[in-house]
């Protein structure tokens, strides 16, 4: 923060510092709300995955591979009917566990935002103009904005992957149930 005070721009050439400060602050608030929303979605996904793991234990143990499956001859030649359903259940649980793991990784603590101590502000900024103070804070706010942007992107990517694994598990669960009816 001290460096940004030394490199201050003359007041007449940068009269929009307060406006920029307010804009970056509101952008940070939007990012915070987005991160909170992603945390809520990650929580719901983890709960849903755990529930599906519980229900996967009730999937049928025996199923027959129908003739309508393209690879039924291969499966019938290499796996017994019970083993195929067991294999499906293993894949289902694996995908659900991967989804839960990614969801939990989304909750791992990440530092974001620069914290300027009040005593530091009093010491360095008490005797500077309002405009110079805003200019110094802009540098700190920009770093905070970039940190929150990276956190949101990371959580979003983890959520997206977790949903893909949940989708695979759901499709395999449906296949397991369909095969049990044949």
Position 75 in a domain: yes
Residue 73, judged by CB atoms within 10 A of its CB (0-12, 13-18, 19+), counts as exposed
Position 25 in a domain: no
Spatial separation of the C-alpha atoms in residues 83 and 35, rounded to whole Å: 43
Nearest to 111 by CA among 148, 139, 155, 138: 148
**C-alpha pair distances (Å), 63 with each of 91, 93, 177:** 16, 18, 8
Listed in sequence order, the residues at least 6 apart from 182 whose beta carbon sits closer than 8 Å to its beta carbon are: 63, 64, 65, 66
Position 98 in a domain: yes
Question: Which residue stretches of the chain have pLDDT < 50?
Answer: 1-2, 4-6, 9-12, 67-68, 70
pTM: 0.74
For residue 29, the model assigns a pLDDT of: 93
Position 173 in a domain: yes
For residue 26, the model assigns a pLDDT of: 92
For residue 182, the model assigns a pLDDT of: 59
For residue 97, the model assigns a pLDDT of: 95
* 113 φψ region: left (φ > 0), alpha (ψ -120 to 50), beta (else): left
- Backbone phi, psi, residue 146, to 5°: -65, -40
Q: Are 59 and 92 in contact (CB under 8 A)?
A: yes
Q: Would you state the structure tokens that stand for residue 76, as one six-digit string?
A: 């019938």
Structural domain including 60 reads 33-181
**C-alpha pair distances (Å), 4 with each of 27, 59, 84:** 21, 63, 66
For residue 63, the model assigns a pLDDT of: 63
Position 66 in a domain: yes
For residue 126, the model assigns a pLDDT of: 73
Q: Would you state the structure tokens that stand for residue 162, as one six-digit string?
A: 């977790």
Say how far residue 133 (Cα) sits from the centre of its chain.
35
Number of domains in the chain: 1
For residue 67, the model assigns a pLDDT of: 46
For residue 39, the model assigns a pLDDT of: 94
């Amino acid at each position: 923060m001290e460096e940004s005070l030394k490199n201050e721009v003359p007041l007449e050439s940068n009269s929009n510092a307060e406006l920029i400060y307010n804009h970056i602050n509101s952008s940070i608030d939007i990012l915070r709300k987005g991160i909170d929303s992603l945390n809520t979605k990650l929580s719901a996904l983890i709960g849903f995955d755990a529930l599906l793991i519980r229900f996967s234990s009730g999937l049928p143990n025996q199923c027959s591979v129908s003739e309508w499956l393209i690879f039924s001859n291969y499966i019938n030649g290499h796996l017994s009917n019970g083993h195929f359903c067991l294999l499906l259940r293993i894949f289902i649980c694996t995908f659900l566990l991967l989804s839960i793991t990614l969801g939990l990784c989304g909750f791992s603590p990440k530092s974001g935002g620069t914290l300027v101590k009040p005593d530091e502000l009093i010491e360095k900024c008490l005797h500077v103009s309002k405009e110079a103070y805003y200019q110094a804070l802009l540098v700190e706010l920009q770093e905070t904005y970039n940190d929150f942007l990276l956190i949101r992107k990371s959580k979003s990517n983890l959520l997206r992957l977790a949903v893909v694994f949940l989708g695979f598990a759901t499709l395999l669960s449906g296949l397991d149930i369909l095969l049990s009816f044949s």
